[in-house]
Amino acid sequence: MQQLSSLIRDVADFPKPGIAFKDFTPLLADPRALALAVELMVNPYRKSRIDVVVGAESRGFIFGTAIAQALSAGFVPIRKPKKLPREVHRVTYDLEYGSDTVEMHVDALKASDRVLIVDDLLATGGTLAACAQLVGMAHAQIVGITVLIELVSLRGREKLVSAGEVHSVLKY
């Protein structure tokens, strides 16, 4: 874990004053660290029969596609508004510094799908709770949520109690 933590930088006052942004781009640039991060995110779900990995825009795409490949599962992107060309489900939610909206194609998941939700960071839980709502709108089963980083003091995990097991690799 120390190897991964050493590659994550704090950027003060980004994207606005008072926010300490966790920049993991140095981790992404290190092939061994990136492989380790993906492996640690996917390991708890290797025997869970995941059909589809859902990744939140945009950093959830980075880990989500790698995790989908590792699990021999499909990948479904959850996007910001007006990025998907067909009919969508939409959820608006609060962030730690504002609000946002995410969308998923209405036909992206089947009710029989077993889903793993992936993102880079769990902060206040708004984005991941919105992703869970979108999966719920498709009547698919959430098996779990996996993230690289959890900001424990923001208590985002509390918003995800009904969304299944939450796994985080690094906790700050």
Active-site residue identified among 57, 59, 103, 150:
59
30: left (phi over 0), alpha (psi -120 to 50) or beta: beta
Residue 129 CA: distances (Å) to CA of 34, 81, 158: 26, 17, 10
Residue with tokens 């995941």: 50
39 classed as catalytic: no
Active-site residue identified among 96, 114, 157, 165:
96
> What is the per-residue pLDDT for 113?
98
Q: Are strands 165-171 and 141-150 parallel, antiparallel or unpaired?
A: parallel
- What are φ and ψ of residue 117, in 5° steps? -95, 135
96 classed as catalytic: yes
Res. 27: pLDDT tops 80:
yes
SS3 category, 114: strand
How do residues 42-73 score in pLDDT, each as one tens digit? Answer: 999 999 999 999 999 999 999 999 999 999 99
**pTM for the whole thing?**
0.95
